């Protein structure tokens, strides 16, 4: 149980660090985000909250629900980052894509523009950091988070046996 709690806190901290690095890149280094960028920020923040709830929870059912939600969010994050890198970044506009509609229709873009504001097209947001596109860094972080959730799932299986 102690290892599981530590893993949940690690997941939450990694998510918050990912969003923090994205905000630093945007506000300090003028790397403006596209719709898919801010959609991934939303996924990271949701995952951070769910991981914190799981870390604080003593109930098995709550932790199982958090585990399944976390696994779903990491898969969604991998797919979003892959889509951004392979499809959206090849188009001139992210307008009317799932990410754009979700961020604008929920009102997040206008309610918290410093965090969720869409300021670049997907093609303009193709930026390399240490030789790798930003979308691939995000994809790698989502994969790492998914692997950490898999370790937690393995722990549940060990408890059952």
pTM, to two decimals: 0.93
pLDDT at residue 157 is higher than 80: no
User: Could you report the per-residue pLDDT of 127-143, keeping only the tens digit for each?
Assistant: 878 889 989 999 999 99
User: Could you report the per-residue pLDDT of 105-134, keeping only the tens digit for each?
Assistant: 999 999 999 999 999 887 777 787 888 998
> What's the distance, Cα to Cα, between the start and end of the chain in Å?
15
User: Would you place residue 74 in the very low, low, confident or very high pLDDT band (cuts 50, 70, 90)?
Assistant: very high
Architecture of domain 2-160: Up-down Bundle (1.20)
Q: Which of 30, 140, 25, 121 is nearest to 81 (CA)?
A: 140
Query: H or E stretch including 103?
Result: helix 98-105
User: Could you report the per-residue pLDDT of 78-104, keeping only the tens digit for each?
Assistant: 999 999 999 887 776 666 788 888 999
130: three-class secondary structure by DSSP = coil
The pLDDT of residue 160:
60
DSSP 102-125: HHHHTTHHHHSHHHH---S-TTTT
- Domain residue ranges in the chain: 2-160
Burial class of 49 by CB neighbour count within 10 A (0 to 12, 13 to 18, 19+): middle
Tokens of 56: 């604080």
């Amino acid at each position: 149980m102690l290892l599981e709690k530590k893993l949940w806190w690690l997941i939450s901290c990694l998510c918050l660090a990912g969003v923090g690095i994205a905000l630093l890149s945007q506000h300090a280094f003028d790397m403006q985000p596209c719709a898919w960028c801010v959609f991934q920020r939303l996924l990271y923040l949701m995952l951070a909250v769910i991981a914190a709830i799981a870390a604080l929870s003593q109930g098995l059912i709550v932790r199982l629900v958090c585990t399944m939600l976390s696994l779903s969010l990491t898969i969604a994050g991998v797919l979003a980052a892959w889509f951004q890198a392979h499809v959206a970044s090849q188009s001139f506009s992210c307008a009317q894509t799932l990410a754009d509609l979700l961020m604008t229709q929920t009102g997040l873009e206008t309610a918290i523009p410093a965090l969720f504001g869409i300021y670049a097209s997907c093609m303009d947001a193709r930026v390399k950091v240490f030789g790798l596109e930003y979308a691939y860094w995000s994809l790698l972080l989502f994969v790492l988070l998914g692997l950490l959730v898999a370790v937690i799932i393995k722990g549940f299986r060990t408890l059952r046996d």
